[in-house]
Structure formats: structure tokens, C-alpha cells
């Protein structure tokens, strides 16, 4: 487990960018934490680190966004596990090369693989966030 404190959005993005360099394919990156805690900000850094071209918009209103061939960004805020399954979830997580980022992953825990990487975001003040990476 690694814990970080960031004091602005750029730092949170940077952390995502650094993590991207350590990722292997076939991983589900599960982001949890309240609204405004920094999940999308962190994802922007991750995508940058994965060499995805911006602009990256939050998929909150589309549930899923696919970047490049193998990078998927889900947002489970407004949906049920069943809705995610209906988007081809099982196939997506089965592919070794895929990198799958899920905001609000705790809402669909029952379909998240056991070996996933969990990252928790905590609001600690207007510009301060605590980020806990579990691996």
C-alpha cells in the first residue's frame, strides 16, 4: 500500500502519469472516492501517461469510453453492474492487452476481478487529496 497527499490537481494528474508507466496490460484500475475527490483528474494523467491524445472528457454521461485499441474508461456512478456487463465487460477484462480504468468501481464490486488495482481518493481540503494505492 502506498499513500500520497497532493495539494493541487496537477500533482494528482502527475501521479496518474507516473503510475501509467508501471502498468502492465490486462489490469483493471479501480478508482473509488466521493464526487470531486480526484478520480477523473487522476485518470487524465493516466491517459496522458498511456500516450492517449486528449482532450479527455469524463465518461460520466456515456458510461464507457474507448481510447486507442486497448484502453477503456468506465464510470459506474449512475449505473448498475448489469449495465456494465451489457457493454461487453467480460470480454474486455479477459483481453491481456487491455487497460481498464473504472471510476466508482466500488459500486460494481461484484464484477471486478480479484487481482485488480484499487486506488482510493479522499477529500482533505479544497486542494488537498489523499490517494491510497493498494497493490
Q: Tell which positions 65-104 bind ligand ADP, by CB under 6 A.
A: 103
Measure the CA–CA gap between 134 and 69, rounded to whole angstroms.
27
Residue 131 has phi, psi (to 5 degrees) of -125, 120
Classify strands 64-67 and 27-32 as parallel, antiparallel or unpaired.
Answer: unpaired
Number of residues that bind ligand ADP (CB under 6 A): 19
Q: Is 116 in the site for ligand ADP (CB under 6 A)?
A: no
Q: Which is nearer to Mg ion, 24 or 127 (CB)?
A: 127
Q: Which is nearer to ligand ADP, 31 or 50 (CB)?
A: 31
Q: Is 132 in the site for ligand ADP (CB under 6 A)?
A: no
Q: Tell which positions 15-74 bind ligand ADP, by CB under 6 A.
A: 33, 35-41
Measure the CA–CA gap between 107 and 130, rounded to whole angstroms.
20
Asked if residues 24 and 112 have their Cβ atoms less than 8 Å apart, the reply is no
Residue 71 has phi, psi (to 5 degrees) of -115, 125
Q: Which is nearer to ligand ADP, 25 or 36 (CB)?
A: 36
Instruction: By CB under 6 A, name the binding residues for ligand ADP.
Output: 6-9, 11-12, 33, 35-41, 103, 121, 127-129
Amino acid at each position: 500500500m502506498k499513500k500520497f497527499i497532493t495539494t493541487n490537481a496537477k500533482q494528482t494528474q502527475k501521479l496518474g502519469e507516473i503510475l501509467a508507466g508501471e502498468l502492465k496490460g490486462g489490469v483493471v484500475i479501480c478508482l473509488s472516492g466521493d464526487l470531486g475527490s480526484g478520480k477523473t483528474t487522476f485518470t487524465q494523467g493516466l491517459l496522458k501517461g498511456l500516450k492517449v491524445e486528449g482532450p479527455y472528457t469524463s465518461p460520466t454521461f456515456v458510461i464507457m469510453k474507448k481510447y486507442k485499441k486497448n484502453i477503456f474508461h468506465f464510470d459506474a456512478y449512475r449505473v448498475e453492474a448489469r449495465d456494465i456487463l451489457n457493454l461487453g465487460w467480460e470480454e474486455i477484462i479477459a483481453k491481456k492487452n487491455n487497460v481498464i480504468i473504472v471510476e466508482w468501481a466500488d459500486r460494481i464490486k461484484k464484477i471486478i476481478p480479484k487481482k485488480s488495482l484499487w486506488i482510493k481518493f479522499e477529500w482533505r481540503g479544497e486542494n488537498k487529496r489523499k490517494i491510497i494505492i493498494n497493490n
